[in-house]
């Protein structure tokens, strides 16, 4: 990790983000996970080997916009971490999984923290394999 964020700070921030994503109708969980001016970039799906390079599809700023985005996921959607976070330049890099009923996929999050909460996140979903 960086000198600015201990591994436990990073883990706590990511766990809070997962709680917010897995309980999208609870605004308190989102406020605990992200800064008020949180910036989320959702990217187009891309092959796993190229995760992190897809063009941006959507940009959301602030907790209200992100709260609306979170409610797009179908009921029963579960996000989880697929491995530990690593430093990638100024950002954290962590792979995630998403499960809904029999569907399972994943992707990559690049994130930055401010005061123990996420202030920026790039959401890079993996393309569905044929």
Q: Encode pLDDT of 70-123 as tens digits.
A: 999 999 999 999 999 998 888 999 999 999 999 999 999 999 999 999 999 999
Q: Which two tokens stand for residue 24?
A: 């999208």
- Whether 130 is in a domain gets the answer no
- With a CB cutoff of 8 Å and minimum separation 6, the contacts of 73 are 21, 24, 100
Domain span holding position 59: 7-125
Q: Which two tokens stand for residue 65?
A: 């916009």
Report the distance separating Cα 53 and Cα 67, nearest Å.
25
Decide if 97 contacts 113 (C-beta within 8 A). Answer: no
- Whether 2 is in a domain gets the answer no
Number of domains the chain is built from? 1
pTM: 0.91
Q: How many CA atoms lie within 13 A of 76 on its CB side?
A: 6
């Amino acid at each position: 990790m960086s000198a600015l964020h201990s591994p436990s700070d990073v883990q706590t921030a990511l766990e809070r983000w997962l709680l917010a994503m897995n309980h999208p109708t609870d605004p308190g969980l989102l406020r605990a996970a992200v800064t008020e001016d949180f910036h989320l970039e959702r990217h187009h799906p891309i092959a796993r080997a190229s995760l992190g390079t897809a063009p941006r599809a959507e940009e959301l700023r602030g907790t209200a916009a992100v709260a609306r985005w979170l409610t797009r996921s179908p009921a029963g959607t579960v996000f989880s971490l697929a491995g530990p976070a690593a430093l990638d330049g100024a950002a954290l890099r962590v792979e995630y999984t998403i499960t809904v009923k029999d569907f399972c996929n994943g992707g990559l999050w690049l994130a930055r923290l401010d005061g123990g909460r996420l202030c920026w996140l790039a959401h890079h979903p993996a393309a569905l394999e044929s």
